[in-house]
């Protein structure tokens, strides 16, 4: 006769662990929530034994699971896991992307981008540049007239162009542009 542990192993081979197709935070097999919770707990306990974690310190076990996942999963599998996790999409990715967006805004690439917008099809007026800068990074709510920043993800906004004064200062110090003088007094 089989022992209880042997039956559990055979049943798990017939019903291997899989995630839900629509939510990578939920196991779809086995069907029962109790069995799903038990499998997650047993996985963590096993990882604690392998990686040296304790009840008070799960970090070694979590670190081991993470490194194993990142190294053993294909990029496509990682994309599926991340894209189907509302926790990662709504609470993690925005924080990860926020710093590179801020770095890009003060970068030379964004300064060049801003200069290109200012000089596209001739020199734009200060008001027109400000309007374009605002329209590229802000949107109006349909229900109210209030403007808000366009966000790619929760906590991660679209990079803004430089302000008019900063792009003007950048151009004067870095581009070889001839000085334009106001000659309107000659026309009068």
Percent of the chain scored above 70 by pLDDT?
84
Both tokens assigned to 3? 């022992």
pLDDT at 156 over 90: no
Q: Kindly give, in sequence order, each residue whose CB lies less than 8 Å from that of residue 5, ignoring residues fewer than 6 positions away.
A: none
User: Looking at residue 123, what is its pLDDT?
Assistant: 86
- Average pLDDT value for residue range 111-123: 89
- pTM summary value: 0.66
| Backbone conformation region of residue 121, classed left if phi is above 0, alpha if psi is from -120 to 50, else beta | left
- Average pLDDT value for residue range 150-179: 85
């Amino acid at each position: 006769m089989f022992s209880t542990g042997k039956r559990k192993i055979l049943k798990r081979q017939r019903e291997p662990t899989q995630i839900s197709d629509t939510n990578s935070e939920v196991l779809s097999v086995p069907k029962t929530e109790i069995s799903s919770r038990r499998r997650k707990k047993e996985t963590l306990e096993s990882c604690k034994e392998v990686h040296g974690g304790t009840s008070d310190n799960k970090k070694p076990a979590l670190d081991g699971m993470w490194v194993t996942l990142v190294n053993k999963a294909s990029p496509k599998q990682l994309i599926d896991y991340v894209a189907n996790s509302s926790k990662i999409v709504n609470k993690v990715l925005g924080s990860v992307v926020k710093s590179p967006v801020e770095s890009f805004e003060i970068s030379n690439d964004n300064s060049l981008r801003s200069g290109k917008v200012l000089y596209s099809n001739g020199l734009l007026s200060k008001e027109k540049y400000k309007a374009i800068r605002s329209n590229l990074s802000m949107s109006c709510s349909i229900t109210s007239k209030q403007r808000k920043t366009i966000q790619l993800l929760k906590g991660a906004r679209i990079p803004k162009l430089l302000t008019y004064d900063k792009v003007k200062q950048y151009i004067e110090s870095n581009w070889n542009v001839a000085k334009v003088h106001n000659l309107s007094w000659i026309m009068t």
